Amino acid sequence: MNENNLVEKPIIENTLKEDNSTLALLHYSQLLNLFGFFGIIVPVILWATKKQEIQGMDEHGKHVINYQLSMLLYGAIFAILFFVSIILTFLLIGFVFLIILCIIGIPLALLLIIYPIIGGIAASKGEFYKYPLTINFIN
């Protein structure tokens, strides 16, 4: 007690635990894109439930979600261009465009597999991996 008869409460530190395996799981969960939109849904759930508990989860989660949204945007643009090129192929104009899109589409699909693995490995070592081609939707 102090002079004013007030009880001093101890300050409770809000310390976040360090859990590199959960951070790695966040990155690896993006591979669920192979089974639909689970590669976006699962990281959002992990980020939302663990960002107040695990050190670095907020930064990793925001970056993973930004990457997934960027890839979703790029995939939508690719799908529209692919559809237009198929229509133009029937007019014998878009065949070359269709081949170019296939050449671009294969690396785009590989990015959805390779970068999350690299990010997961980095997170398991306690490092932050910055995904290339990422648009910052969430700051």
State the DSSP code for 3. T
Q: Is residue 7's pLDDT more than 90?
A: no
- Other Cβ atoms less than 10 A from the Cβ of 93: the count is 11
The pLDDT, as a whole number, for residue 109 is 86
Maximum alpha-carbon separation in the chain: 91
pLDDT of residue 72: 92
Residues 63-70, mean pLDDT to the nearest whole number: 95
Phi, psi at 6, each rounded to 5°:
-100, 135
Q: What is the pLDDT of residues 121-132, one digit of tens each?
A: 999 999 999 999
Q: State how far the Cα of 114 lies from the Cα of 51, in Å rounded to an integer.
A: 25
Per-position DSSP letters for 49-98, written without gaps between them: HHTTTBTTHHHHHHHHHHHHHHHHHHHHHHHHHHHHHHHHHHTTSSHHHH
What pLDDT score does 116 carry? 96
- Residue 12 pLDDT: 46
Range of weakest confidence among 14-18, 100-104, 133-137: 14-18
Quote the mean pLDDT of the chain.
86
pLDDT band (50, 70, 90) for residue 14: low
**Does 78 have pLDDT greater than 70?**
yes
8 A C-beta contact, residue 57 and residue 50: yes
* pTM for this entry: 0.80
pLDDT(1) > 70:
no
Instruction: Say how far apart CA 14 and CA 4 lie, in whole Å.
Output: 28
Query: Which one-letter amino acid corresponds to residue 21?
Result: S
pLDDT tens readout for residues 81-113: 888 888 887 777 667 777 888 888 888 889 899
